[in-house]
Structure 1
Amino acid sequence: MSFQEIIPNEPLSLFIKSILIFENSENSEITKLPFFADGYPGLLFHKTDGGLTVIPHHKEMPDLFIYGQTINPIELEIKGSYSIIVAQLYPFVLKSFYSIDPKSINDNCYIPGDTEEVLSNLRSSGTTDDCIELIKAYLLNNFEKRKDNLDFKIRRALEMIIAGNGTENIGQIAKELDFNIRTFERRFLTETGLSPKQFAKIIQFQTSLQRLTAKDYNKLSDIVYENGFSDQSHFIRVFKAFTGKTPKSYSS
């Protein structure tokens, strides 16, 4: 399998974190790609020989769809060769782009009503690069039409939580953005589908997962304390909640 990550420039970077490409030209029987909570909903397009199914829901997915926050671990089960493009979206855009409650598609997906044209073009497109440009154009069009409705204060809050790897004090962020804490929590949940603390916990988990995956540590306690967990049992508990595995079984 080949993997590529593209970091977009402005104005796309205002609402797209990154574009991920997973490809395999070999006609292998079944591929399983694990996905864990990362804090970002997204748009996914796939070309596959035998379809794409989300496990454990055993749900066969359409060629193009929006997915919400991934909270519980899933696998994408793919039959045959495949090309998958994922545009990771900053989570403050779903409500404005699609007039939906973001929380309603946590661990779920949504089929927008405005994708018929772009889907037809994606299906007939010859190259991955062409598909990426079509997806970027579709999302940019949504942004240009709805940018006045976007809550850029919540985007700033997201930036602050991400920059602090999920360890920033939520009350302090609310204060810096001139919110009282209750208003901030309510507005954040409305725009993203998560509470600020939930989002921060996911970012904290992802930061530790990246360290663990890269084997960028001498002992597990390095990850625990450098990523703001109170102790090793706290880290293991959070890690298992998001992956279904202990850090030891995941890294073995």
Structure 2
Amino acid sequence: MNFQSIMPDKSISLFVKNIWVFESKDRNLKTSLPFFADGYPGVMFQQTDNSLIVRPHDKKMPDVFLYGQTIKPIELEISGAYLLIIFQLYPFVLRTFFNLVPQSINDNCYYLDDMMADDGVMALANELQASDSIEDKIEVITSLLLSFLERKKQDLDDKIREAVIRIIRTKGQESILAIAAICNLTMRTFERRFRNETGLSPKQFSQIIQFQASMEQLTVKDYSKLSDIVYQNGFADQSHFIRVFKAFTGKTPKAFKK
């Protein structure tokens, strides 16, 4: 499998964090790609020999779809050659851009034909399938997202956008109370607006970002002992870290390393 992480074009960097490309040309391969909570919903285009199934939901996915917050671990099951292009979205765009209740697609997907005319989705899928290069396909999706930005940018909740970016920058370690104060919002108002825009409470989102930072450190083996990860990522103690890690992966850190 070939994997690329691509910086989005500056025109969409306000609401797209990253572009991921997964590709394999092996027609005899059976692939399972695990995904864990990371705080980012996204738009995915998939081109496969057979089909893409999301486990454990047993969902067969269309060519292009929007997915919400991944909270419980999932696997993408693919038979044969495939190309996946994923636009990781900042979570504050879900309600505004896609006119939906973000919580409704937590651990779920949203078919874009619910938002676009059926022929519009078909035309988009056909254009993506017909585009020769990965770069061309990325340009097609970029153009789609830019059309949303032009129509919806003024409706974004700037205070929640600021809060989301701050939580990401501090790796989930700044207190929610302090962030609410910086946004000049009461705690109740902050929590309500944050959930309305992202589908998560500020505490949930911070915990996911904190977990992601710890999982990355564990994966690249950037530590001497487990307690380094615990305290560098702001967990109260080792049991707290293990509990959070297992909630998002289904495994203890020790089992995950294997």
The residue that corresponds to 1:122 in the other structure is: 128
The residue that corresponds to 1:67 in the other structure is: 67
CA distance in 2, matches of 1:176, 1:127: 44
Unaligned runs of 5+ in 2: none
CA distance in 1, matches of 2:164, 2:31: 33
Q: Does the 8 Å contact 2:68/2:109 carry over to 1?
A: yes
Tell me whether 1:27 sits opposite 2:6 in the alignment. no
Name the SS for the 2:254 alignment partner: helix
Tell me whether 1:249 sits opposite 2:255 in the alignment. yes
The residue that corresponds to 1:193 in the other structure is: 199
How much does 1:161 deviate? 0.4
How much does 1:11 deviate? 2.8
CA distance in 2, matches of 1:132, 1:243: 30
Alignment of 1:167-206 (within 5 A): 167-206=173-212
- Calculate the TM-score normalised by the size of structure 2: 0.96
Q: Does the 8 Å contact 2:6/2:18 carry over to 1?
A: yes
How much does 1:9 deviate? 3.8
Tell me whether 1:110 sits opposite 2:110 in the alignment. yes
Unaligned runs of 5+ in 1: none
Q: Cα RMSD between the aligned structures?
A: 0.9
Alignment of 1:1-252 (within 5 A): 1-113=1-113, 114=116, 115-252=121-258
Q: How many residues align?
A: 252
Deviations 1:36-81 (A, max 9, x none): 0000000000100011000111111111100000000000000101
Q: Does the 8 Å contact 2:64/2:112 carry over to 1?
A: no
Name the SS for the 1:26 alignment partner: coil
How much does 1:29 deviate? 3.2
Structure 1 range deviating more: 56-65 or 3-12 = 3-12
CA distance in 2, matches of 1:234, 1:224: 8
Runs of 4+ with >3 A deviation: none
CA distance in 2, matches of 1:152, 1:209: 29
1:94 partner letter:
L
CA distance in 1, matches of 2:98, 2:231: 39
CA distance in 1, matches of 2:215, 2:142: 28
Name the SS for the 1:14 alignment partner: coil
CA distance in 2, matches of 1:9, 1:228: 33
CA distance in 1, matches of 2:232, 2:45: 36
CA distance in 1, matches of 2:131, 2:63: 13
How much does 1:27 deviate? 1.5
